[in-house]
Amino acid sequence: MGLDITVMIVDWSWWGEVPSRERLSRLRDAWYADETGLWDHGAPAVEGDWELPRGPNGAFFALYEFRRTCGSFKAHFWAGERWDSLRDHADPLLRTELDTLLLGLIWEGPDGAAQHTDPGFCCDDPAVSYGLLVARSPDSVRELAATWEGVRPRLGGLRGAFIEHAADPEGWVGDFDDFTDLLEDWGRVLTEAARRGWGVVGLSE
């Protein structure tokens, strides 16, 4: 799990107007564009906030900086692992809702086979879709955002179970507050994307 992850919200109509084999290239080209993109543009990233591109593609995507992850996918992976340790001790209704939320984003699921991309939007050819970790359409985003709104006020009830069954002071997302902060960051991403009617994309670097 040495990957980094860049999480963006994307105008699905702009992204979808090109053939599926060209969609990842279109997003990466806009992200890496000299002067008007977001890659290595010199401005310091602000954790817990949005980075907005400049130039002709500035209205079509935005990047979210997760807190205390250093851009690494490890934090997201280990949040899923903490949930694996915790879920059997959660309230059944909350467990079902968090299963839905995390299966849609970062958790590999009880059988380790969860897919975090909506089928058909990006090319399924591994040579073309390599580097795509998350791709959720506006419809998926609305459903996940609604699930998040139901989960959010009840997360505090998991603290005791997390401390007993999932805490790891030396590990990634080993503290309950780190776990909930990561979920809250995903909640911000989903909420803003749903507000705009956009999708969510996570790319590896």
The residue ranges of every structural domain in the chain are: 5-204
- Quote the CA–CA distance of 135 and 17 in Å, as a whole number: 16
pTM of the model: 0.92
Task: State whether residue 164 is helix, strand or coil.
Answer: helix
- Quote the CA–CA distance of 128 and 29 in Å, as a whole number: 14
pLDDT digit string (tens) for 152-202?
999 999 999 999 999 999 999 999 999 999 999 999 999 999 999 999 999
Q: What is the identity of the amino acid at 142?
A: R
Assigned token pair, 73? 């996918």
- Quote the CA–CA distance of 67 and 48 in Å, as a whole number: 5
CA distance readout (Å), 154 to 74, 76, 144:
25, 20, 16
pLDDT digit string (tens) for 108-140?
998 888 888 888 777 666 666 677 889 999 999
CA distance readout (Å), 174 to 33, 66, 129, 168:
37, 16, 31, 4
Nearest-10 Cα torsion for 132, 134, 140, 145: -150
Cβ-proximal residues to 169 (8 Å cutoff; 6+ apart), any chain: 175
Note the Cα 71 to chain centre separation in Å: 11
pLDDT digit string (tens) for 22-67?
888 888 888 776 655 565 555 556 788 998 887 788 889 999 999 9
Helix (H) or strand (E) holding 79: helix 74-86
Q: Which residue has the higher pLDDT, 34 or 86?
A: 86
